[in-house]
Amino acid sequence: MSPITAPPPALAVRQAMPEWLPVLLGLLVMYLPTFYDLLNGGVWASEEQAHGPIILALSLWLIYRQWPAVMALGEHRGAVAGWLTLAVGLALYAIGRSQQILLAEIGSFIWVLVAVLLVKRGGTALRMLWFPFFFMLFMVPLPGALVDMLTMPMKMAVSYVTEHLLYLAGYPIARNGVMLQIGQYQLLVANACAGLQTLLTLEALGLFYLNVVRHTSPFRNITLALLIVPISFTANVIRVMVLTLVTYYFGDAVGQGFLHGFAGMVLFVTALLLILGVDSLLQLAVRKFKAPGAVSPGVPQ
């Protein structure tokens, strides 16, 4: 007998349309204005929060990828927890939308999705899709006071490491707080270069990579997860160093254009390469650990 396999995601979505189309239309009516405002001059149009739509798209793709398994669970209507969660989500949406509190308005989107899933498919479906909902948290803007409080130490650390590395390389560089002086140019290490949101974006990139590759080795998963923080910090340092050197060799005008253009790509490519490199080293370590040990001298085989 051939094994029963789940339908591909595209087919599963088409089969679910009659049941889920009213829910989808309701979500679009509620949140299309929110996402339009975020993209049209809102926080997602800024350099610090430009990762928001990317996080949303990746989260929806993760849900889409696991949708056949969710649909296979069958209906599970009337979950009390789901209706209570929906009430909280709608209240957050009403408060956030009316009072322009982005933390509540965008956060309500996650609450409402979780509520719909609980009502329609129950807790088992939520456990299957816990990571996409957790991943969406990275698109929610944090309170400005918290961001300012945590960003300054990070910018100081990135500036300090950048100054010392370039000084050791022989460049005429000095630092005053988060201000770098190289040659006749001064550069301010801004929030977009080494701020909390940048670090969180790189954290999201690392967690997304872990979820997609799904290594079977607990050591490899845990170690890579712990190393995401230093990897993100290193990528920030490399970005600031590249920006500093571009300004030093080509002038302030080129450096400022580079900051708002290619520098962001440098950051993410660097972080991705570091993650892949560390993961490859961990793979070698796991293989070496699992390899049969060498036979001690004098011990018969």
- Catalytic residue numbers read 193, 239
Q: Is residue 128 within 8 Å of residue 70, measured between CB atoms? A: yes
Beta-carbon count within 10 A of 208 CB: 20
H/E element, 185: strand 185-188
DSSP states along 110-127: HHHHHHHHHHHHHHHHHH
Give the count of alpha carbons within 13 A of 109, CB side only.
27
Buried b / exposed e along 135-161 (16+ C-beta atoms within 10 A): bbebbbbeeeeebeeebbebbeebbeb
Question: What is the distance between the alpha carbons of residues 68 and 8, in angstroms, rounded to a whole number?
Answer: 7
